[in-house]
Structure 1
Amino acid sequence: MSSNRVNLVVLDMAGTTVADGGLVEQAFAAAAEKLGVVAGTADFDSKLDYVRATMGESKISVFRHLFADEAKAQRANTAFEEAYGDLVDGGRIAGLPGARDTVEQLTADGRTVVLTTGFARVTQDAILTALGWQDLVELTLCPADAGGRGRPYPDMVLTAFLRTGAVASVADVAVVGDTSYDMLSGTRAGAGVVAGVLTGAHGRTRLEAHGAGHVLGSVAELPGLLAELGR
């Protein structure tokens, strides 16, 4: 039975709580080069368009689509994670304005916050370390933590629901992200609140078309939305 209060908030990282400044595209370019996909070619442009269209999806799933051979997909994913990690280590990442304060406010209000990503665990940990967020929340999840399937599947949201035990019903979960895949994962999980933010990959029209019940300027508006909804 739902308590009608959102006591579990599942937040995406890159584009939602973390500003990555186009690092996904830069890391993809580095990975593609290692696999012989030359920047400026039609093949490269086509693959980059797919990366942009699938922001939020598990990166290994993206590479499996782009490189039908599993070994090639694994090499591309490894190269991507290494390139992204180098960019993070170079200080090329920051928390979005108000993101940390929002997480701390939600926690102070008695809500459990979980941070999720489409990146591998090693990259997620590198981002958390770079931001000093290792102890910001009690649980962080990547696709491998939820059986290997990332967004748009609902698995990470449902794993957060099961592992935290913070709510009795998925109706008392809020899912927030910047991509259409974030919205799909929230709606497919049955989350009571599914909200898009305009600080990342996709705009209002696309977010709403894929299930966003609310669209916020940034995650900093989330506590106000929950108060307005009485959730």
Structure 2
Amino acid sequence: MTIKRKWQLACLDMAGTTVRDDGLVEEAFTAAIAAEEGMAPGSPGYEEALRFVRDTMGQSKIDVFRALLADEPKAQAANLRFEDAYAALVRAGRIAPIEGAVEAIEQLREAGIQVALTTGFARPTQDAILDALGWRKLVSLALCPGDAGRGRPYPDMILTAILRLGVSDVRAVAVAGDTPSDIRSGSCAGASVVAGVLTGASKRDALLSAGATHVLDAITALPGLLRAAP
């Protein structure tokens, strides 16, 4: 594959973009909120809380619990339970790559583009996913909010990847994700391509409204998009 433009870095989201999640975030959230707050499906406040989780997909999970619970100790406890529940689902084999994601990442790297994976999960959960999929050597870098200071929609993880990987120009960066938070993060970082993908949490209109430069059916279309860029 020949890519004409001087692309240096692709920052790719994980769950919903490169990793098939199949509702595991909601499942882990349900386990956490039931343990900490006694909320279960059908109980008062549960549907409203679940709607908030859906609306904030892609954001740092501790920030989501802080907004929901408005109490730091409770938020920290709920976040730990969420991470434990999600990691248990990962260990149970409940995740897999999005079809064609590995090949797309390999195509980008063969074209000389470094690839960084970003997530709203904490480091232990991101590590569990990387280990379960055998992706440690697949990418140049994997970042979580704790590595950068703030999670999405802030640009911190993308800017941290730019600094760590020696990228010389933010315009040489492409970002892809499945949520409005991914899109806002990429736009704030100054990336030239900020692509939404339709394999995860959000629909086309939501991604475009957030500022996506492109909307792709799947991450498999990203190498072709960069190949065609002027």
Question: For the residues of structure 2 that align with 1:42 and 1:24, how far apart are their CA atoms?
Answer: 20
1:200 maps to amino acid: G
Counterpart contact for 2:5–2:226, Cα < 8 Å: no
- Preserved contact between residue 27 and residue 81 of structure 1 (Cα < 8 Å): yes
Distance 2:227 2:107 in 1: 12
| Conservation of the 8 A alpha-carbon contact between 2:5 and 2:227 | no
1-structure distance, mates of 2:35, 2:138:
35
- List gaps (5 residues or longer) in structure 2: none
SS at match of 1:9: strand
In structure 2, what residue type is equivalent to 1:55? M
TM-score normalised over the length of structure 2: 0.96
- Aligned twin of 2:121: 119
CA deviation string 1:185-210 (max 9, x = no partner): 00011111100000000011000000
Cα drift, residue 169 of structure 1:
1.0
Deviation digits for residues 75-134 of structure 1 (CA, Å, limit 9, x no counterpart): 000000000000000000000000001111100110000000000000000001111111
Match of 1:186 in 2: 186
Q: Identical aligned pairs, as a percentage? A: 59
1:134 and 1:21 mapped to 2: Cα distance?
Answer: 22
Matches of residues 84-123 of structure 1 in structure 2 within 5 Å? 84-123=86-125
Does 1:223 find its partner at 2:218?
Answer: no
Say if 2:59 and 2:152, in contact at 8 Å, map to a contact too.
yes
Cα distance in 2 for partners of 1:59, 1:99 equals 24
Measured in 1, the distance between the counterparts of 2:5 and 2:171 equals 8
Q: Deviations over 1:142-172 (max 9, x none)?
A: 000001x10000000100111100x311011
The 5 A counterparts of 1:191-206 are 191-206=191-206
> Which residue of the partner structure matches residue 171 of structure 1?
171
**Displacement of 1:39:** 2.1
TM-score with structure 1 setting the length = 0.96
Cα distance in 2 between the residues matched to 1:159 and 1:182: 15
How far residue 4 of structure 1 moved from its aligned partner, in angstroms, is 4.9
Residue 22 of structure 1 corresponds to which residue in structure 2?
A: 23
What is the CA-CA distance between 1:38 and the residue it aligns to?
2.6
Answer yes or no: is the 8 Å Cα contact 2:155–2:185 preserved in 1: yes
Contact conserved, 1:18 with 1:93, CA < 8 A, in 2? yes
Q: Which residue in 2 is equivalent to 1:38?
A: 40
1:33-72 Cα deviation digits (max 9, x unpaired): 1011232123111100000000000000000001111000
Matched residue SS, 1:196: strand
Aligned match of 2:134 = 132
Whole-angstrom CA distance in 2 between matches of 1:83 and 1:170? 36
Amino acid at match of 2:102: R
Contact between 1:175 and 1:194, CA under 8 Å: does it hold in 2? yes
SS in 2 for 1:42: coil
Partner of 2:155: 154
Query: How far, CA to CA, are the matches of 1:42 and 1:156 in structure 2?
Result: 36
Pairwise CA distance, 1:5: 1.9
Measured on the aligned residues, the alpha-carbon RMSD in Å equals 1.0
